């Protein structure tokens, strides 16, 4: 809608056919035109002449009809039925006038927006969630597989009801994904830090790894170290557009027994590496 | 005097028949008769004239127009009821009318000056 609509145009909506000028009353006038001659000004205000003094063709102002008996079919009252307390004389005035009224203007209902917190696993695998709205209505939301954080889901026709037979608005649900205990999401890939024992690190072996779709078996190569990262191809999150799944990256972390282990102490004290090594080689400052 | 669809389209210069059909469908205008033979009363024609001016000249689009019309119809509904109320007050005893008048003056004083 253009904003530069002239006030003159707007007066079309609401200009009376007859009005008595009252002394000192402020008449509505266009800022562009000011007739000093009160007679001309009145004629301008009434739409009989335009800004340049030209006679306007006689027009039938809507207001002249709206106040007549015929106007009843367009007049609206129901919005004022709650004008004052129920039982009040004003409430009656509008309530009775509104009886038998039909809403004739169709207006689309307002859109509504909500935020919905979901678990990472629900985002990764898809889920159905139910939202209870402030007005008590429930909204069933289908979370698509692979939904991203802050992504908005549109539920067509689930917003505010329409007016006078107009279609309802839409509901917009912004998805907020809660951080998970051990899965971290980067785009469609999943990252996880996986603790392994000293012997698994040194000797290697098959271990179970949790993924978003359930446990899978993974081979830890002999001599793996803390920080070694292995990739489980296709075990990440499905991309809705490309239909390709991301990967899961497993970063190993060697963990010693929590309680002191005498056999381990005895073993390491006797252990002399075949090739001596300095893990701090690169930190020359030490 | 009732006008037919074609008479209305001819009478209002800027009006397109296609648009008028849409306005009737959307409930902006409520002619009597049926879809084959609409009958437009004077208020219907005045309303179409108003909508035409808002639509073609002021660029109120199909989304803004229901809001405008709805507010307009609310105002006219209020005016009608205010007229009814005024007529009801007019036949009340003088004492009551003075009290009402005083109350209105009082509320006028309290409202902020613009």
B51 to chain A: nearest residue by CA? A13
Which residue, among A19, A62, A67, A98, would best test binding to B if mutated, counting the most B CBs under 10 Å from its CB? A62
ipTM over 0.90: no
CATH number at residue B24: 1.10.1660.10
- DSSP β-ladder status, A112-118 and A171-177: parallel
Same domain for B97 and B50: no
CB under 8 A, 24+ apart: contacts of A215-224: A218/A250, A220/A196, A220/A252, A224/A196, A224/A200, A224/A252, A224/A254
Distance between B70 CA and the closest CA of chain A, angstroms: 7
What CATH code would you report for A184-269? Answer: 2.60.260.20
Q: Identify the pLDDT of residue B93.
A: 85
pTM > 0.90: no
Tell whether B47 and B89 lie within a shared domain. Answer: no
Q: Looking at the complex, does the CB of residue B62 fall below 8 Å from at least one CB of chain A?
A: no
- Span(s) in chain A for CATH 2.60.260.20: 112-177, 184-269
Same domain, B43 and B76: no
Q: How far apart are CA A261 and CA A277, in angstroms?
A: 24
Q: To which CATH superfamily is domain A112-177 assigned?
A: Urease metallochaperone UreE, N-terminal domain (2.60.260.20)
Looking at the fold, whether B10 and B36 belong to one and the same domain comes out as yes
Task: Round to whole Å and give the CA distance between B24 and B32.
Answer: 11
Give me the pLDDT at residue A205, please: 93
Facing residue for B59 by CB, picked from A1, A12, A104: A1
Domain that residue B79 falls in: 63-109
**Min CA distance, A2 vs chain B (Å)?**
6
User: How many contacts, defined by CB atoms under 8 Å, are there between A and B?
Assistant: 107
With beta carbons under 8 A apart, name residues in chain A contacting B83. 67
Residue B90 sits in the same domain as residue B55: no
- Distance in angstroms (rounded) separating the CA atoms of residues B67 and B84: 26
> How far apart (Å, rounded) are the C-alpha atoms in residues B107 and B114?
15
Mark residue A165 as left, alpha or beta (left: phi above 0; alpha: psi -120 to 50; beta: remaining).
left
Mean pLDDT confidence for B67-92: 86
Would B95 be classed as within a structural domain?
yes
Q: What is the pLDDT of residue A62?
A: 79
Question: How many alpha carbons fall within 13 Å on the CB side of residue A140?
Answer: 2
| Residues B54, B3 share a domain | yes
Inter-chain residue contact A94 with B49, CB threshold 8 Å: no
User: Tens-of-pLDDT digits for all 286 residues of chain A?
Assistant: 444 445 555 555 555 443 333 344 344 444 444 566 777 777 766 666 666 666 555 455 777 777 777 777 787 766 665 655 555 566 666 665 655 555 567 777 888 888 899 999 999 999 999 888 777 788 889 999 999 999 999 988 888 888 777 788 888 999 999 999 999 999 999 999 999 999 999 999 999 999 999 999 999 999 999 999 999 999 999 988 888 999 999 999 999 998 888 999 998 888 888 888 888 888 876 5
Put simply, the answer to whether A71 touches B43 (Cβ < 8 Å) is yes
Residue A164 with chain B: CB contacts under 8 Å: 27
Same domain, yes or no, for B55 and B94? no
Chain B residues whose CB is inside 8 A of the A9 CB are 53-54, 57-58
3-state secondary structure of A136: coil
Asked whether residue B114 is assigned to any structural domain, the reply reads no
What is the 3-class SS of chain B, one letter each residue? Answer: CCECHHHHHHHCCCCCHHHHHHHHHCCCCCCEEECCEEEECHHHHHHHHHHHHHHHHCCCCCCHHHHHHHHHHHHHHHHHHHHHHHHHHHCCCHHHHHHHHHHHHHHHHHCCCC
Q: Measured between beta carbons, which residues in chain A are less than 8 angstroms from residue B78? A: 80
Q: How many domains does chain B have?
A: 2
Q: What is the pLDDT of residue A142?
A: 92
Of residues B25 and A82, more confidently modeled: B25
| B20 plus B68 within the same structural domain | no
pLDDT of residue A224: 93
Both B86 and B101 in a single domain? yes
Residue B68 lies in a domain: yes
Q: What is the pLDDT of residue A32?
A: 44
């Amino acid at each position: 809608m253009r904003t530069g609509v002239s006030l003159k145009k707007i007066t079309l909506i609401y200009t009376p056919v007859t009005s008595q000028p009252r002394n000192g009353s402020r008449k509505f006038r266009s800022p562009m035109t000011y007739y000093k001659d009160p007679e001309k000004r009145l004629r301008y205000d009434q739409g009989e002449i335009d800004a340049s003094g030209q006679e306007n063709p006689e027009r039938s102002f809507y207001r002249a009809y709206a106040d007549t008996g015929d106007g009843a079919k367009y007049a609206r009252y129901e919005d004022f039925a709650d004008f004052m307390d129920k039982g009040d004389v004003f409430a009656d005035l509008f309530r009775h006038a509104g009886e038998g009224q039909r809403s004739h203007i169709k207006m689309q209902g307002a859109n509504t927006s909500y935020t919905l917190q979901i678990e990472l696993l629900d985002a990764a695998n898809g889920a159905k969630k139910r939202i209870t709205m402030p007005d008590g209505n429930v909204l069933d939301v289908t979370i698509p597989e692979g939904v991203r954080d802050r992504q908005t889901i549109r539920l067509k026709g689930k917003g505010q009801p329409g007016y006078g037979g107009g279609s309802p608005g839409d509901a917009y649900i912004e998805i907020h994904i809660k951080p998970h205990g051990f899965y971290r999401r980067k785009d469609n890939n999943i990252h996880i830090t996986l603790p392994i024992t000293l012997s698994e690190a040194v000797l290697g072996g098959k271990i179970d790894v949790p993924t978003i779709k359930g446990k899978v078996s993974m081979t830890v190569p002999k001599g793996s170290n803390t920080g070694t990262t292995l990739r489980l191809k296709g075990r990440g999150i499905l991309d809705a557009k490309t239909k390709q799944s991301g990967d899961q990256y497993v970063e190993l972390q060697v963990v010693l027994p929590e309680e002191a282990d005498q056999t381990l102490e005895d073993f390491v004290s006797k252990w002399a590496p075949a090739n001596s090594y300095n893990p701090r080689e690169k930190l020359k400052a030490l | 005097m009732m006008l037919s669809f074609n008479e209305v389209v001819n009478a209002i210069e800027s009006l397109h028949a296609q648009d008028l059909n849409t306005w009737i469908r959307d409930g902006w205008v409520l002619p009597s008769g049926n879809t084959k033979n609409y009958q437009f009363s004077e208020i219907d024609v005045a309303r179409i004239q108003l909508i035409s001016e808002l639509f073609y000249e002021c660029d109120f689009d199909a989304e803004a127009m229901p809001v405008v019309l709805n507010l307009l119809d609310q105002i006219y509904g209020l005016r009608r009821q205010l007229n009814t109320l005024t007529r009801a007050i007019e036949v009340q005893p003088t004492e009551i009318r003075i009290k009402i008048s005083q109350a209105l003056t009082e509320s006028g004083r309290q409202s902020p000056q613009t």
